[in-house]
Amino acid sequence: MILCGILCVILFAGMILLRRQVFWERVRSPCYILWAFSFMGFLAAASGNGEVDTIASGQVARNDPGDGMLETEAYVYLHEEETEYPVTIAIPERKFQKEEEQKLLAEAAEEMKASFCGENPSLDRISSNPRVLESYRDGKVLAEWMFSETDIISMEGEIFWEEMTKERQKVKAFVEFKCGGSEAFHEFSFWIVSKEKSKREKTVSKIKEQIAMQDETERVVRLPDSVAGQKITWRGAEGTQELEILGLGAIASFAAFYAAKEQKEKQLQKRKRNLLLSYPEFVSKLSLLLGAGMTISGALRKMNQMYQKKQETGGRKEEVYEELHRMVCEMDNGMGEFRAYQDFSERCDLQPYRKLVSLLTAGQKAGSRKLMEKLNEEADRVFLERKNAARRLGEEAGTKMLFPMMLLLVIVMAIVIVPAFLSIYGT
């Protein structure tokens, strides 16, 4: 900085003294350029936050915790050798003192207590997803969460309402805070409360319960004439009004403009259906490999390897294994396992896969024994669901074939009867 400043002053004074000389026209442009670069060098050195002067003084200030490592270029001069070498100095960020770490851990615990409920009134009444954060105190304190009831709440705080079997469910939360070399462990309980139903939803639910209780062998279903002590009457859905007809006509006319969107939605539904159909086999393979003693990541990599070999021999593509291949590639490129699992569940965007990822993350922390029990239960459940789904699809296929079969019967009867009539009337 000093050198650039001196050069700027010398050049500026020289340009003032020489501007009336004859040869000034020849050297004016080079002088202007040299002065401009010298001035810019001076500004750059002055805006360098005193780094050069600090290094020359033999002291360099560390970055604050969380700001990362400081790297700077400097030159070291050896007096005996009368030689100067360039040196790249890498200085790690400042670490918190023990007292600072303990203070941040305590503040993080208070911040967690204040933010966990989110939109819920208290820990005794959690009716929406709580706020589960990965870090506190502006990222200075990291947090790892685990819940006792992983089948109804994920590690990210997402509640699986369809898995709720009780109106109130007690859940224990375990959170581990890490700040530098210090750790703190906190445990607390909260109650998940089923979402409050409206009066209409409660009435409809009671009516459905009364209908479902009737004998399924009877040909006629008797609709209830009262619910909760209140008399009710029934009417059919016939008699659509004129405004409803006009509304349907408007909807039908606008539907033509969204044909592309509808097609995309169909493709998305097809993808989800294929993912659901592949889920039982996926869980069964994973459970089998884990039962053989493999780790979670090893089992997933093995499944991906088997799928890639099948692809090389001309096997058909499956959406779930394509997402699995992407997840394995992400882990090979340095992504953490938990983050890769979470991205996999978000791409699949189905509740069974979110539940599976929740089980895997919980098993990664809690051990494989409980994980194997949960996976075996999940495999049995989805196998039964797939069996029922296959039965429904078979029934639907039989119903769809009824009309073509009737049409073929009419054609066959015409082939048989028409020549007979022609022979009779021809003779």
Widest pairwise Cα distance in the chain: 134
Strands 230-231 and 141-147: unpaired
pLDDT given at position 189: 92
Helices 259-291 + 319-332 axis angle, to 10: 70
Question: Can you name the residues that pair with 231 across neighbouring β-strands?
Answer: 226
Check if the beta carbon of residue 285 is closer than 8 Å to that of residue 310: no
The neighbour count for residue 91, using CB atoms within 10 Å, is 13
**Location of structure tokens 């049409």:** 407
Of the candidates 319, 323, 322, which has an alpha carbon nearest to the alpha carbon of residue 275? 319
Profile the chain (427 residues) by mean pLDDT over runs of 10 residues: 59 60 59 64 56 59 71 73 74 79 90 89 88 88 89 87 79 90 90 74 74 76 79 65 53 60 80 83 84 84 89 85 89 87 87 84 70 78 76 76 83 83 70
Three-state SS letters, the chain: CHHHHHHHHHHHHHHHHHCCCCCHHHHHHHHHHHHHHHHHHHHHHHCCCCHHHHHHCCCCCCCCCCCCCEEEEEEEEECCCCEEEEEEEEECCCCCCHHHHHHHHHHHHHHHHHHCCCCCCECCEECCCCCCCCEECCCCEEEEEEECCCCCECCCCCECHHHCCCCEEEEEEEEEEEECCEEEEEEEEEEEECCCCCHHHHHHHHHHHHHHCCCCCCCCCCCCCEECCEECCCCCCCCCCHHHHHHHHHHHHHHHHHHHHHHHHHHHHHHHHHHHHHHHHHHHHHHHHHHCCCCHHHHHHHHHHHHHHHHHCCCCCCHHHHHHHHHHHHHHCCCCHHHHHHHHHHHHCCHHHHHHHHHHHHHHHHCHHHHHHHHHHHHHHHHHHHHHHHHHHHHHHHHHCHHHHHHHHHHHHHHHHHHHHHHHHHC
pLDDT given at position 239: 46
pLDDT given at position 366: 65
CA distance 139 to 153: 24
Three-state SS letters, 131-190: CCCCEECCCCEEEEEEECCCCCECCCCCECHHHCCCCEEEEEEEEEEEECCEEEEEEEEE
Sign of CA dihedral 110, 114, 118, 122: positive
Give residues with Cβ within 8 angstroms of 170, minimum separation 6: 189, 190, 191, 192
CA distance 362 to 368: 9
* Sheet containing strand 135-136, strands side by side: 135-136, 141-147, 168-179, 182-193
